[in-house]
Structure 1
Amino acid sequence: MKILVTGANGMLGRDILKVLGREQTHDVIGFDRLQWDVTNPIRTTDIVKQSNPDVIIHCAAYTKVDQAEQDFELACQINSEATKMLASLCADYDIRLVYISTDYVFDGKKATGYTEYDEVNPINCYGLSKRMGEEYVERICPHFLILRTSWLYGNQGNHFVRAILQKAKMGEPLSVVDDQVGSPTYTVHLAEKISDLLKTEEKGVFHTAGEGSCSWFQFATYILEQANLDVRIHAITSDDLTRAAKRPAYSILIPKRSLNANLPLLPHWKIGVEAYFDVIREGVNHD
């Protein structure tokens, strides 16, 4: 397959290039933000027409959750309008579109977690912009995969795991919320799941997050354990933080469709953390 990846210099995009690049039958081409501004209709049309791909994996996104409350128009321009344009081109040229979405399309009121069949109800502007993107993909593109994931961290970029480690190594006391529960996801494992799905004829929405669930406090505690760092850590509530955007209290993603189709699941979130630290200890692919 010939596969294009938008946002290829991002945390997930880089791992998708590495994982899919191992497949000798794939021709995988990544574009960073400078090479492909997905909000530019002329550039987008030219790339799609000239490349003639079989698949486009759409990782490019506006992900600043709190800033999106002020920059909702920009968030929509990137997360929904650019996605609409891409979905239309994929429909016109019979291209399979893979759209990376988020657990933030849910309101977090269902404590047992969400399957692909549950009603969405975003409670912040970022989640709303991503849901709008989902709707465009579902409505316009015949051959699509919408992959909802959550709490991403990986071998590159800035994320929760790296932030916890940096603060801990500086000896700073840590205060982490204990009333938000979700499914941490290692980007390498998500990239491998994407590779698995591309080998099938599946379409529609799939929940693709690390197995199991935890609070941010439990996540941070396990990170410190793996790093062998003895740092004082306090559990706090969401109300103790001043944030512009509301977060869902429970955004556990249940992979019902993968279970029904007997498809491989992502490893447990703790295995993801352990794999991340294996990479750190090897001292490779980590900036």
Structure 2
Amino acid sequence: MILITGVNGQLGFDVVKELNRRNIECLGIDRAELDITDGNAVRNYISELKPECVIHCAAYTAVDKAEDEEEICTKVNVYGTENIARACKEIDAKMIYISTDYVFDGKGDTPFEVDGNIEPHSVYGKTKYEGELKVKEVLNKYFIVRISWVFGVNGNNFIKTMLRLGKEKESLNVVCDQIGSPTYTFDLAPILCDMAVSEKYGVYHATNEGFCSWAEFATEIMKKANLDCKINPIPAIEYPAQAERPFNSRLSKKSITDNGFVLLPSWKNALDRFLEELFRNCR
């Protein structure tokens, strides 16, 4: 039995689908079923269910809002994660914790290794890294998986926003000096499921292959969706946001290949398949 938190999010939704495809017994839960910030509730729930692994996808992910809601963000991302880890420890279960590229300083132009320069510049990044530390402090049987620029069919994301705006506007200004890798949850879910049934514990980076800027990503979206909307590349300084975004979100996948896991397809290939799935669901 594998327990998945955050089942109503983009990633949790696809992880449950993938486990069902593999005929692996699983249970997906969200806030309505379990408040992860309630330590006693988490302990009782997990000790009764006795999963072999918990894939912890639930998180506070409103990056800008987190700057004003640090206490709530910390409660979910740090102490909620610690509660899950402690409950896993009690029943000797594995834990997969989903982290983020925001834990790094976002500088330079080379991919960050798993042990790269940790220096988060936002409340969100800080709390996700503190969550990592809690997992390491409590457990030996853990996987920490950092991801970036996530998109999936179940939920809101950059692609869906671009598609909507692309139909409404003749042109859009999109940031061109932040570089990273889009990550399709449909492609990410299988590697998490592979990890869940393995004992190759440690820290990983998992994103689709290839790098691009947000402006390049947006341009490709318009092209693939046949939308006549011009993308104007602009520097991030012209698009102020409450929370600081990393300029460099490139992540090295060395830990994936070193441990025999399969790299995800290219982000352009992922975009093609995501749009096919999205348009099929809209018919």
Q: Do they superpose with TM above 0.5?
A: yes
Aligned runs of 1:116-265 on 2, under 5 Å?
Answer: 116-265=114-263
Distance in 1, Cα, partners of 2:223 & 2:41: 47
Q: Which residue of 1 aligns with 2:33?
A: 35
Q: What's the counterpart of residue 83 of structure 2? A: 85
Give the CA deviation at 1:263: 1.9
CA distance in 2, matches of 1:90, 1:120: 26
> How many Å separate the matches in 2 of 1:44 and 1:88?
9
- The residue that corresponds to 2:20 in the other structure is 21
* SS of equivalent to 2:221: helix
AA partner of residue 236 (structure 1): I
Counterpart for residue 92 of structure 2? 94
Deviations 1:98-157 (CA, angstroms, capped at 9, x unpaired): 000000001111311111121211111100000000001011111000010000001111
Please give the root-mean-square deviation of Cα atoms over the aligned residues, in Å.
Answer: 1.3
Determine the C-alpha separation between the residues in 2 that align with 1:52 and 1:199: 15
Structure 1 distance, partners of 2:122, 2:56, is: 22
- Tell me the SS of whatever aligns to 1:43: helix
Unaligned regions of 5+ residues in structure 2, if any? none
Partner deviation per Cα, 1:140-197 (whole Å, 9 max, x = no partner): 1110000100000011111100000000111352110000001100010010111222
In the other structure, the counterpart of 2:11 is: 12
> Retained in 2: the 8 A contact 1:102–1:148?
yes
- Name whichever of 36-45 and 202-211 sits farther off: 36-45
Displacement of 1:226 in angstroms is 0.8
Q: Structure 1: which amino acid aligns with 2:132?
A: E
Equivalent-residue separation in structure 1 for 2:279 and 2:58 (angstroms): 29
Question: Matches of 2:95 and 2:56 in 1, distance apart?
Answer: 7
Q: Does the 8 Å CA contact 2:142/2:202 hold for their aligned counterparts?
A: yes
Other-structure match for 2:277: 279
Task: Work out the CA distance in 2 between the residues paired with 1:110 and 1:240.
Answer: 20
Contact 2:64 2:242 in 1 (8 A): yes
SS at match of 2:146: strand
TM-score (norm 2): 0.97
TM-score between both structures, scaled by the size of structure 1: 0.96
Aligned counterparts of 1:79 and 1:64: Cα–Cα separation in 2: 12
The structural deviation recorded for 1:218 is: 0.4
Check conservation: 1:106, 1:121, Cα contact below 8 A.
yes
**Per-residue CA shift, 1:57-93, capped at 9, x if unaligned?**
1111000101111111111100011111111111121
Count of matched residue positions in the alignment of Structure 1 and Structure 2: 283
Counterparts of 1:248 and 1:164 in 2: how far apart (Å)? 20
Letter in 2 for 1:15: D
- Contiguous gaps of at least 5 residues in structure 1: none
Alignment of 1:56 onto 2:54 = yes
Judge conservation of contact 1:9–1:32 (CA < 8 Å) in 2: yes
